Amino acid sequence: MNDTFTITDEQQDYSQYDLDANPFPYSPVPAEDPEIYCGQPHVTEKISSTVSSVLSTGKSKHLVVTGKYGNGKSHTLKYTRSLLRDRDDVVVGYVAQPGEGFLDIYHEFIYDLGFSRVQEIAYEYLAAVTCDITDENPTGANEMESLLDDGEILLSEIVPETIRRLSDVTKFADFARAIVHMVYEDTNLYAWQWLTAEGIRYEQRKEMEIHSALDDDTMGVRAFTAMKNILLDLSYTGVFVFVDEFESIARLSPKNEQATLNSIRHLMDQNSNGLCMLFGCAPEVWQDVMSEYHAFSERIGQEVALRPLTTENLTELVEDYLSRERTSAVPDPAVRPFTENSLELILQRSQGNIRQVLSVCSRMLDNAASESQAEITADFTQEHI
């Protein structure tokens, strides 16, 4: 065995910079629940306005966030999602990319909600019906589940009325049955597979008295609308859908691209209330969509562009990251050990691309710690970049 490699789990010491650890990500991909957002004011204002309008009026509103690769589209969408996720009156779903058509968007949205959340929605609806037709008054999904487990309420007492009401609300009887079957131990996995458009055998559908297959974009739009209508009937304010990497629709054939855009347009037309869609898209693809598919782009109407970072943006970003691992009071300057000149050089080399900025800062800090550099100067950065 030779000793070419030196592999160790010994942690790097950053105490000379008053840091517990290197706060910059080695692989700068957006976290699922970002804690830091370096806001460009025009972007945060536009997103805040769009989301606030839906929350305050209940009317649907949509927005596309454009920006080149690495300028923070995914981070922006995920950060906005993290702000909304804790609210009890909305449902939020994240779609990493639109796939081959609208059915894939629907599938990813339901999958992001998850089995437990969809089952919880089913129990919430059963609770609402129970309050209306029995003497029991369950206030939520957990109480409803307990009543059923304890035998205080029998499913046979409430399911027929629940299916009737859900069918009225959704105009989609098969969807209504699938939602109800989410609470049956024997069939909830079949119901979940049907609801996520994964496809189930005819015998499994027959067991739940579901007659149709959820297997094309039209059915996907219908199912999405059905889910949104259930949530609004349960007094939720709205449904938020974040569709990232929307530029990937450019890889579809012209026919499939148009079909996908038409399906989203139909979804928007059928849901004038309670729906907010935020898209992250590369600007060149969005320009093509704007020029070629007016019927779709006109329904969004609003666009906001993420620009490359400025000097002020970069300084704020580095300060925010460093503050996460500070072991003492904020030093002067707050970006220590980086100097003003080194950040200026990093900004030039990265051309304001946030992904590259984070990657370079992470590397510079590790190199400086290894070489016991008191400061990360422009010369040190020039040498190691």
pLDDT digits (tens, 9 = 90+) for 287-326: 999 888 888 888 887 899 999 999 999 999 999 999 989 9
Average pLDDT over residues 50-78: 93
Nearest to 65 by CA among 82, 83, 78, 84: 78
Distance from CA of residue 64 to its chain's centroid? Answer: 14
Mean pLDDT (the chain) is: 93
pLDDT in tens, 333-343: 889 999 999 99
Average pLDDT over residues 240-251: 96
Contacts of 374 by beta carbon, 8 Å cutoff, 6+ apart:
16, 337
Provide the β-strand partners of residue 240. Answer: 92, 276
Q: Would you state the pLDDT for residue 40? A: 83
**Confidence (pTM):** 0.88
Q: How far is CA 145 from CA 37, 101, 124, in A?
A: 39, 36, 9
pLDDT exceeds cutoff 60 at 43: yes
Average pLDDT over residues 163-184: 97
pLDDT band of residue 5 (cuts 50, 70, 90) is confident
Cα separation of 79 and 32, whole Å? 8
Q: Would you state the pLDDT for residue 341? A: 95
Q: How far is CA 318 from CA 32, 76, 361, in A?
A: 20, 17, 8
Q: Would you state the pLDDT for residue 361? A: 95
Q: Would you state the pLDDT for residue 294? A: 86
> Distance between the two ends of the chain, CA-based, in angstroms?
33
Average pLDDT over residues 237-255: 95
Q: How far is CA 332 from CA 329, 335, 336, 338, in A?
A: 9, 8, 7, 11
Which residue type sits at 297?
A: S
**Cβ-contact 234, 124 below 8 angstroms:** yes
Q: Would you state the pLDDT for residue 2? A: 62
Write out the two tokens for 82.
């993290």
Q: Would you state the pLDDT for residue 1? A: 57
Cα separation of 362 and 353, whole Å? 14
Provide the β-strand partners of residue 172. Answer: none
Alpha helices in the chain (DSSP H): 41-57, 73-85, 102-113, 115-133, 141-149, 155-170, 173-181, 188-195, 202-207, 217-233, 254-270, 283-292, 294-300, 311-323, 340-350, 354-370, 378-384
**Cβ-contact 177, 162 below 8 angstroms:** no
pLDDT exceeds cutoff 60 at 53: yes
Q: Would you state the pLDDT for residue 348? A: 94
Q: Would you state the pLDDT for residue 253? A: 94
Cα separation of 210 and 223, whole Å? 13
Average pLDDT over residues 118-133: 97
Nearest to 224 by CA among 168, 270, 282: 270
pLDDT in tens, 69-116: 888 899 999 999 999 988 999 999 999 999 999 999 999 999 999 999
